[in-house]
Amino acid sequence: MNEPLRDLLPKRITVVEVSARDGLQAEDRPLATETKLELLERLADAGHVVIEATSFVSPKAVPQLADAEELMRRLRPRPGVRYPVLVPNEKGLERALACGVREIAVFASASESYSRKNLKRGRDEAIEDYRAVVARAKEQGLRVRGYLSMVFADPWDGPTPTRTAVDAGRRLLDLGCDELSLGDTIGVATAGEVTALLAAYRDAGVAVERIALHFHDTYGQALANVLAAMTAGVTVYDASAGGIGGSPFARMAGGNLASEDLVWMCRGIGIATGVDLEKLVTASRWLGAQLERELPGHVARALTLPRSS
């Protein structure tokens, strides 16, 4: 690799594995709790240290994750592995606390239309509604992550103004979120736009250490966007085994960045992830078998192709 570029890249990143929540919530085929528990075990075996386990949303809204309580009560946490869960409101938080969770995430949108379609209320109201949730979680000693979707564009509203995306993200951090995951929910961002948004956050006084990125690969730009974000100092990236996932409320979005694609790139550059690529690929293939379809991740598929003689 070009040495000046390599000097700009981190020596290590953290992969936040989101297949068990963000991935499965978009699948038409629901998986049994036992299968989900095995998925979590396989991901931990591969070396993941942050695995988003489930979501305490309404079972009517996301029936694929209706077993959140059973899953968390049966889960045997692996030492050194964090298992955050998504909570949509105070009721969801109370359900999560009853299961002994130690880390939660809240979810907001930088765009108005997606907020109303997904959260049933406007952007500003949705963010303000999390004030009590975050305060209660912090009182209980929980780590809190804030997700902010549609930071680059929204399928109904068009491009998201940078100032709007920065303001919404800062408000989540001001509520008490420890980390902010910026989501390219429909996968339209390019590397230049990623660089510009991160510069705007920096200029607004947000430390890069508090930012994570969540890319979708709709236009095949996810890895290029990761590389751009790495040069800006971001070291936390969301990814999903096999590239599954996306919002059930934004069907035009492509799948998440595949974890194995990200790990493959990092291995080639010399960036440590702590994830065993071969075990991760095996887990992705196993997950595809459970879902009864070929998953979109490139590396897992490429490594199954017969080698030419």
Over its length of 309 residues, how does the chain's per-residue pLDDT go in tens digits? 666 777 889 999 999 999 999 999 989 889 999 999 999 999 999 999 999 999 999 999 899 999 999 999 999 999 999 999 999 999 999 999 999 999 999 999 999 999 998 889 999 999 999 999 999 999 999 999 999 999 999 999 999 999 999 999 999 999 999 999 999 999 999 999 999 999 999 999 999 999 999 999 999 999 999 999 999 999 999 999 999 997 655 555 568 999 999 999 999 999 999 999 999 999 999 999 999 999 999 999 999 755 544
Residue closest to 108 by CA, chosen among 50, 171, 16? 171
Place of tokens 């998986």: 31
Q: What are the tens digits of pLDDT across the range 172-194?
A: 999 999 999 999 999 999 999 99
Q: What are the tens digits of pLDDT across the range 207-221?
A: 999 999 999 999 999
Residue type at 282 in one-letter notation: T
DSSP state of 82: B
> Rounded to 5 degrees, what angle do the CA atoms 177, 91, 21 make?
65
Domains of the chain, start order: 3-302 (3.20.20.70)
Yes or no: say if 40 and 50 are a contact pair by the CB < 8 Å rule. no
Q: Classify the phi-psi angles of 220: left when phi > 0, otherwise alpha if psi is within -120 to 50, otherwise beta.
A: left
Residue closest to 245 by CA, chosen among 214, 207, 290? 214
Phi, psi values for residue 73, rounded to 5°: -75, -30
CB atoms closer than 10 angstroms to residue 307: 5
Nearest-angstrom CA–CA distance, 48 and 99:
22
Look up the pTM and report it: 0.95
